[in-house]
Structure 1
Amino acid sequence: QRVGGPWRPGVRTRRADSREQLAALLRAAADDPFDLEAGPLLRAALIDGPDGQTLALTAHHIVFDAQSLPILLDDLREEYAAGGSEAGAPGRQFRELAAVTERPAPEALARWTDTLRDAPSRLGLAAPAVPEPHGTVPIALPDGLLRRMRPLQERLGMSWFMVASAALTALLHHATGDPRLTFGFPVDTRERDAFARVVGPCLNTVVVPTRCDADTTVGAFLEAVRDGVLDALEDRYVPFAHVVEALNPPRVAGTTPYLDVVLAPQTRAHTPPRVGDARLLPLESAQGSATYGKFALTVGLAVTGERLSGEMVYRGDRLPVDAVRELARLYPLFLAAFAEPGESTVAQLAASLGATRGALRAEVDPGTAVTTSRATAVLAEPEAGVEQRVAAIWASVLGLDPARAPGAEANFFDCGGTSLKLVTLHAELCRAFGTELPVQRLFESTTVGAMARLVARPESPPVAAGSRSGDLDARAAARRRTRRPGTGGRV
């Protein structure tokens, strides 16, 4: 991670003569790709429209997390109320928080290693015989579910997220037949008094190990998950990368240890926020969440007022769509049952809900790492064959016609690629070629031919982090010059 010095964004001015033109300008502002090397990663535009002025702010997710938005809105309100005069001294900066969190307390890291030492680093999932496209399956959660959870939350001292996590992991224990598994969730690292108002990517990922045996009751499992989440939050400032480095679990190309399952909670404003007389509206991403593809299963849960909604985002090389649909069908049943638990065991409850034990069980050891023989075999493959395979994976990630796969000189970003899609491509290439590559290498090799050479000879030296060659600058400039209107994707 590189943290730059102080910087002030420029504001572009535009004009829209109709509401339709205004909507098109806003969509174009959101769809215009970011250049991660050259920046800027926060853009501002002021549009004079038929109903007044519209301020459009577009930020890349690597510099602006969800909690940054209410902080930024509060700052805008203060500046708006000040009427152009100085509203106050600048607050603490992200670079200060990053310097603190990069030095975790040794005892906190030791607690993490003790917690996860015997936990499985990979979930035993039965992958489809032929990889399927990544996708998203909505979860049909009933109205009133949050209200039904509250008595349980008060009795056991739990949040709705803890109950939702327990129901999901219980379902996965039953579906895989594994008595032990792990799940992760993102946490805010700014919750210290000195850094509460920091804007930036103030996120870490924490992991909760769970155990569910044949005689584990629903009540006991709820309490265990509650305690696991609280323990994880206690040491949330230890960077996840430090934990993985200390544990050094078996690596499997294209996956992240301990994070095959990730829960992503959100709380959304029931009514649009306001700054003075201005009403603020978010512009939802047009890019499908199925392109993310970083984890085997990501369960997104959002609270809007009294309504809980959700979706399951999955990787098609790890889970077949039919299995995810069955999980999405069963999850509301488990969640409703967990909201009002009786004395039954998890196994008894699952059976009463019609869940098939071991339906997702893998036939091989989920912790098996990729062997060197597979990674070496690609070196003997003709380069043209490697290019064809890379082009086919490109077509799958970008949603292109497989019969018209891009050629060797095609540029990923000019074909509609984005930084998030490049992360998906990275996972797919690592899995297909049985190799481990830093994702940075793909940002340095953006054509089919360059990526084919990279996976065929992964030992070639990378560009040092933080450095930029003239060639990189030239390629970044070329991408910006040659990017055609309408080919950019959302980042």
Structure 2
Amino acid sequence: MSDLSQRIAGLSPEKLKLLAQRLQKKKESVFSQPQIVPQSRESNLFPLSFAQQRLWFIDQLQPGNSAYNISQPMRIVGLLNVAALEQSFNEVVRRHEVLRTTFKVVDGQPLQVITPSFSFKLPVVDLQKLSQEQREAEVLRLASEEAQQPFDLTKVPLLRVTLLQLAAAEYALLLTMHHIVADGWAIGVLIHEIATLYEAFSIGKPSPLSQLSIQYADFAVWQRQWLQGERLETQLAYWQRQLGGKLPVVEFPSERRASLRDAPQSRSPIQTFSGARETLVLPKTLSEKLKALNQRQGITLFMILLAAFQTLLHCYTDQEDIVVGTDIANRNQAETKELIGFFVNQLVLRTHLSGNPTFVELLERVREMTLEAYAHQDLPFDKLVDVLNPKRELNRTPLFQVKLVLENTQTPSLELPGLTITSLKVENKTVQFDLLLELSETDQGVFGVWEYNTDLFDRGSIVRLSNNFATLLTKIATHPETKLSELKRVLNEVDKKQHLAREEVYKNTIGQTLINVKRRANNR
């Protein structure tokens, strides 16, 4: 493998995007991005970003939908300075206009409305009189209730924080934001600023944070001004070539059955957003083998996981044209990295698996497709949907319904002086897609979470899907030259063994039940 391929293998998706742009020198002038500048605040009315526009439209179709709530519940142990914590949140709301923003329609167009000032109050709910068992149950109940409570996009703020006091030195903090004003990166910005401000305010010092050079509304104006004309046409031309015609829909077999070969399951006429989650752990030994394959092939870990994920979908559906979505940070300007806001963009990754290629051959297809997608990532997903104008179906998300995300940066945990803070595990019962696999690399291996629509899948089918994905990755890591047909045969064999094992357990359970019934009858 060439030195260039070795260097490519170590690049993040964002750096791969930059590399692809540099290789297309004739297009550099087209993709150059001018600096974002502050706009006049005379009217406090601003256009929505393209990403915000999509969520606003969804909210109009289904008011009260909590699927786009971002919740971060956490437990705090120690002597918490409640006044300093409230002051910290107040300062964050002051610094970031997007947290003081609402949305209204003016002359038929949705607009951002910035509230000049807002006094943020931190409500404290006292649970100290309850028994420990009652407290724990109430914390989980309130946390789940908070995560499911919808936001009114016409009312400020689109941020809720509640503090539950469990004992003199123990609390639970329930933090919820609407996705229209935040993304995963924004949560990291919020946590960093709260930690910095709390440390200063708790000892009577002023804010050490420097003033922000721009606000999210400035980005929204810039985005609409910049993405037009030749820039827009160049981006659109690529995606229209890549996604032109009728896009395939990933149709799983009956997810509530055991076999990979059953007939498709019917779905509700309206998307329900009802969901659940299941974890996936790939051991360190497997992740190291996958990394070694990365280096040999000159690709990234994401490309291997994407190719394997699309292979898994192919094995389940028999489809050779597979479309999967993914996220990209979309914070290409330095000034956007310090902002709370909704920047993340979605890419549509389409791969043709025809011809029964080996997995290595499939990797080449995925690498080429992914690099081109990164090079054209500036087109907002929502603008792409508008232009392609696919047939709108109320029971499916547009363009793709299955998503794969590999987190490159971990959201920092909140650290406050003198306090121990841990995440609070609360079941989230809403999802945005049919199926999402969110992966992250840790020191112990690759950790993942499956988010699935419970109207289409049950837990057993997701557990089998997860086991099959691990089996597939293990086979790929050791035998990457295996053809897709052989990979499918391996999964079918595994699935058949699992099905027989479940039948045996079922028979034994029925047999034991009959024995117990006879015993009870005889005892009478």
- 2:247 is matched with which residue? 120
Equivalent of residue 75 in structure 1, options 193, 197, 207: 193
Judged with a 3 Å threshold, the aligned counterparts in structure 2 of structure 1 residues 17 and 216 are, in CA distance, closer, same or farther, namely closer
1:332 alignment counterpart: 470
The structural deviation recorded for 1:76 is: 2.4
Q: 1:355 to 1:140 in 2, by over 3 A?
A: farther
Q: Which of residues 19, 24, 42 is equivalent to 2:159?
A: 42
CA–CA distance in structure 2, aligned partners of residues 270 and 195 of structure 1? 17
Give the deviation of 1:13 after TM superposition.
Answer: 4.5
| SS across alignment from 2:346 | strand
Structure 1 partner of 2:486: 348
Structure 2 vs 1, CA of residues 41 and 330 (structure 1 numbering), >3 Å: closer, same or farther? same
The Cα shift of 1:219 comes to 0.7
Give me the whole-angstrom Cα distance separating, in 2, the residues matched to 1:340 and 1:7: 59
Contact 1:16 1:47 in 2 (8 A): yes
Measured after TM superposition, the shift of residue 166 of structure 1 is 1.1
Higher share of residues assigned helix: 2
Are 1:181 and 2:322 an aligned pair? yes
- Partner SS for 2:288: helix
Shift of 1:173: 1.8
Distance across 2 between alignment mates of 1:238 and 1:342: 34
Query: Is the deviation greater in 326-335 or in 97-106?
Result: 97-106
Q: Kindly state the Cα deviation for residue 7 of structure 1 after the two structures are TM-superposed.
A: 4.7
Per the TM alignment, residue 349 of structure 1 is displaced from its structure 2 partner at its CA by: 2.6
CA distance 1:90–1:286, shift in 2 (3 Å): same
Relative to structure 1, is the Cα distance of residues 79 and 340 closer, same or farther in structure 2, using a 3 angstrom cutoff? same
- 1:25 deviates by 5.9
Q: State the partner residue of 1:4.
A: 113
- SS for the counterpart of 2:438 is strand
Distance 1:212 1:221 in 2: 7
Matches within 5 A, 1:17-36: 18=128, 20=132, 24=138, 28=142, 31-32=145-146, 33-36=149-152
- Counterpart of 1:110 in structure 2 is 237
Note if contact 1:218-1:343 (Cα within 8 Å) is conserved in structure 2. Answer: yes
CA offset at residue 259 of structure 1?
0.8
Partners in 2 of 1:63 and 1:300 — Cα distance? 21
Aligned with residue 262 of structure 1, among 391, 403, 410: 403
Q: How many residues align?
A: 354
Match of residue 234, structure 1, among 360, 365, 375: 375
Structure 1 contact 189–237 (Cα < 8 Å) conserved: yes
Distance 1:125 1:52, change over 3 A: closer
The structural deviation recorded for 1:68 is 1.4
Structure 2 distance, partners of 1:75, 1:175, is 45
Partner Cα separation in structure 2 for residue 129 and residue 53 of structure 1? 45
Larger radius of gyration: 2
Letter aligned with residue 229 of structure 1: T
- Please, which runs of 5 or more residues in structure 2 have no aligned partner? 1-52, 54-102, 104-111, 255-263, 496-524
User: Does structure 1 retain, via aligned residues, the 8 Å contact 2:279–2:448?
Assistant: yes
Which residue of 2 is the match for residue 215 of structure 1?
356
Q: State the Cα distance separating 1:210 from its structure 2 match.
A: 0.3
Does the Cα contact within 8 Å between 1:185 and 1:206 map onto a contact in 2?
Answer: yes
Q: Deviations over 1:149-186 (max 9, x none)?
A: 21122233433332221111012123222221210012
Whole-Å separation in 1 of the counterparts to 2:447 and 2:332: 26
CA-based RMSD: 3.5
Secondary structure in structure 2 of the residue aligned to 1:300 = strand
Residue deviations 1:214-246, cap 9 Å, x none? 331211212322332332233323111211222
Shift in CA distance, 204/157, structure 1 to aligned 2, threshold 3 Å: same
How far apart are 1:119 and its partner, in Å? 6.4
SS of equivalent residue, structure 2 residue 395: coil
1:75 maps to amino acid: E
Deviations 1:238-271 (A, max 9, x none): 1112112222333434212321211133468599
Aligned to 2:295: 154
Q: SS in structure 2 opposite 1:308? A: strand
Structure 1 residues 203, 319: closer, same or farther in 2, change over 3 A?
same
2:340 corresponds to 1:199: yes
Residues in 2 aligned to 1:237 and 1:200: alpha-carbon distance in whole angstroms: 17
